[in-house]
Amino acid sequence: MVWGGGRWGQDKVSTRILVTNPQVEHSPMPIRYQVSAPHPATHYLLVQMHISGWAGPVLDLKLPVWTPGSYLVREYARHLEQLQVQGGLAWQKVSKNHWQICTAGVSEIQVQYYLYANELSVRTNYVDEQYVYIHGAATFLYIPQWRHQASEIVVVPPQEHWPVVTALDPLDPHRFLATDYDTLVDSPIVTGHVLIEDFVVADVPHRLAVAGPLTCEVDRLRRDITQIITTEAALFGGLPYQRYVFFLHLTTQGYGGLEHKNCCALIYSSSGLRDRHKYQKFLNLVAHELFHAWNVKRLQPREFIPYDYDREQYTTSLWFCEGTTSYYDLVMPWRAGLYDAHTFLELLAAEITRYYQTPGREVQSLSEASWDAWIKYYRRDGNSPNSQISYYVKGALVTLLLDLKIRHKYANQRSFDDVMQALWREFGCSGMGFTPEQLQATVAAVLAEEVTDFWRDYITGLTPLPLAAALADFGLELRPLLEPTPFLGITLEPGCCVVKQVVRHSPAWWAGIDPGDELVMVAGQRVRRERWPEQLREFTPGQRVTVAVFRREEWRQVEVTLAEPVPERYQLVPMAQPTPSQQALGMGWLGSEIFRQE
């Protein structure tokens, strides 16, 4: 453990991380980037790029429009300004993210530019007086013909004593080697007031780099993360990387994660680490991003090979990349002993609640949700729950169904783990990628039966997931919890009476209430946020009431017939008297304690 003031790399473990290839160290790189932040309070990064050995008449430079793992065209070039080419070479900008320099026989070219870096997230750049987060896709121009070339990256921290943390190969504490451009994009760099904790799991060095106020013992974090690493390595038969860094940025609020091959970036609420439930969610986040070191970073949809940084890359398989990973992010901490089977069922029930509370499940299939992530999942608005299903949520539940189907057939002797292992063996460790057909065929091979109907119903189709029946086979009752509140069909923004969501086909939807409307009156009574939705309980289902809203400062009044209550949430409860078959399957999956009455 080293605080920001210390030199990193002095203890045993860090020395292992610092091991470098001496041949590489002495050979000059064809591309060298230097990144600094001369005035960090202004949130600008300065990038100086030096290219040597260029032979063509024209040099193309581009900046990615998106970053792998986050399927939205973010237009990183909108933050790039004051580009300068040294030595008087003519240049022009030919498209939004593409610059061309007339090199006319010059082989050494120097370019510099500024980047505005003031968006605190796992996929954007950020600079202030305490902390610098450099995200590769948002930062480094690339030469399309030279994507395979190695580059040297020099990081000049705003404070000389700040440690620089990255999963890139270190040449010295401030200089790093990226073997190619994909590796550079995939390796965020952090410097600032950072707590560093090094540890070894299965002979592989790991590093935890924490920025922001840490509200729990670092020992506990290290211990729990180690358990997750060990459990995931056991599933896949070893760790797929030579070293790994967990970047954790703790803030007052915020949540996010982004996977990389040899590291992951996490943003979490600092106070959340002290709360039992929020700490469990944190463990899910860690398990999720680490699981991606296999699923999606190495076991990839073939459509992603190679990445195209210029435009959207379409696949129908995001439900597997993200949804299956989401299922395992609930399974892994449980399997690692960090929470019990009852907690696992609570977390699973919360996913089931989200599925049933998303009317878009009847509109968009998993394949469509995957394909359209670029324009839908990442561009959400008030109507999104009505027109979309999350490939995270439904993908996790489809994985649950497949897991139960395999477990049922083989009396828990086989499971979805066998699918993951087969995919990893065939398409993951080789890096060749899989097609949607190969994914389906692998599931069918493990099950030793056709899954064409399953795919047609639940992956390319809109058939409701048979969750209650599948879980009942394992002695679990899926129980809807009803509050006696007549159903209007709106949710309000926190702390105010502005309508956040209107449920498709609900009374409010048919009456024309919109997201963004301000709810002011129901049946002559002023709506009080602190009393909502309890206020609705004064009425009965079937009752016709007048609802008034302000829309763009204009008063609107509509008549609404309140409907029967709908489930507030779902619970998964072990049956009190399961049949012998249900008991055997349930215990084989969830452990022998599961049916013990509490």
Nearest approach in angstroms of CB 70 to Zn ion is 9
Planar angle of CA 311, 70, 282, nearest 5 degrees: 175
Per the listing, tokens 């915020």 go with 254
Minimal distance, residue 389 CB to Zn ion, in Å: 16
Residue 463 contacts residue 557 (beta carbons within 8 Å): no
Q: Which CB, 294 or 356, lies closer to Zn ion?
A: 294
Closest contact distance (angstroms) between CB of 359 and Zn ion is 24
Token pair belonging to 452? 């064409």
Nearest approach, Cβ of 293 to Zn ion (angstroms)? Answer: 11
Q: Indicate the residue among 169 and 322 with the shorter CB distance to Zn ion.
A: 322
CB atoms within 10 A of CB 542: 10
Residue 242 near residue 262 (C-beta atoms within 8 A): yes
Per-residue CA distances from 500 to 104, 232, 261 (Å): 58, 38, 37
* Between 186 and 322, CB nearer to Zn ion: 322
Residue (11 or 312) nearer to Zn ion, CB: 312
- Report helix, strand or coil for 198: strand
Residue whose CB is less far from Zn ion, 258 or 562? 258
Which of 99, 320 has the CB closer to Zn ion? Answer: 320
| Measured torsion, CA atoms of residues 6, 8, 10, 16, in degrees rounded to the nearest 10 | 170
Which of 71/455 has CB closer to Zn ion?
71
CA separation, residue 17 to residues 79, 157, 169, 175 (Å): 33, 20, 8, 14
Q: What six digits make up the tokens of 9?
A: 């790399």
Q: From the CB of 329, what's the least distance to Zn ion, in Å?
A: 8
Nearest distance in Å: CB 186, Zn ion: 15
Contact status, residue 402 vs residue 455, Cβ threshold 8 Å: no
Neighbours of 310 (CB within 10 A): 16
Residue 241, helix vs strand vs coil: coil
| Of the candidates 136, 61, 49, 70, the residue with the CA atom closest to the CA atom of residue 102 | 61
Q: Using CB atoms, what's the residue nearest to Zn ion?
A: 322
Min dist CB 1 to Zn ion, Å, is 28
The CB-of-296 to Zn ion minimum distance in angstroms stands at 7
Q: Cα–Cα distances in Å, from 174 out to 125, 563, 564?
A: 18, 64, 64
**Closer to Zn ion by Cβ: residue 71 or 142:** 71
The residues that touch Zn ion, with contacts defined as CB under 5 A, are 322
